[in-house]
Amino acid sequence: MADNDFDRIKKQVRQFVVERDWDQFHSPKNLSMALIVEAAEMVEHFQWLTEEESCKLSPEKLAEVELELADIQIYLISLAHKLQLDLVAAVDKKLVRNAQKYPADEVRGSSKKYNEYKNRS
């Protein structure tokens, strides 16, 4: 997604909230809780599936997951706005940190946590 797409989406989310006077309900606590609820609804689509089944969702199920991901993104954008955080900058910063914790040449193909590698803490 290009920066201008993300900016457009942020503005659309903000306008949607303002038009409905919902900002009064959008405390960080409430937005965090709503975000987790939507994430749980997304996870529910994968519950009890095998690894293989989870990679081959029907078009109908995939459309439902897509909507849940959109809900998650909307609440994430709203929470970042409420806390005056720049999500793009936060992702950039986190990717730099993750690259330090998980050097590609050292961790390629492994799912271990960063502190499980030799000579790491």
pLDDT in tens, 8-39: 999 999 999 999 999 999 999 999 999 999 99
Instruction: Give the burial string for 84-94 (b: 16+ CB within 10 Å, else e).
Output: eeeeeeeeeee
- Is residue 120 pLDDT above 60, yes or no? no
One CATH from 3.90.1480.20, 3.40.50.720, 2.40.40.20, 1.10.287.1080 for 10-102: 1.10.287.1080
119 — pLDDT class (breaks 50, 70, 90): low
Compute CA distances 87 → 38, 75, 114, 118, whole Å: 19, 12, 24, 32
- CA within 13 Å, CB half, 1: 10
Sequence-separated (6 or more) residues with CB below 8 Å from residue 88: 3, 6
Whether pLDDT at 6 is above 80:
yes
> How do residues 38-80 score in pLDDT, each as one tens digit?
999 999 999 999 999 999 999 999 999 999 999 999 999 999 9
CA angle 89, 65, 90 (to 5 degrees): 10
Report the predicted TM-score, pTM, of the whole model to 2 decimal places.
0.88
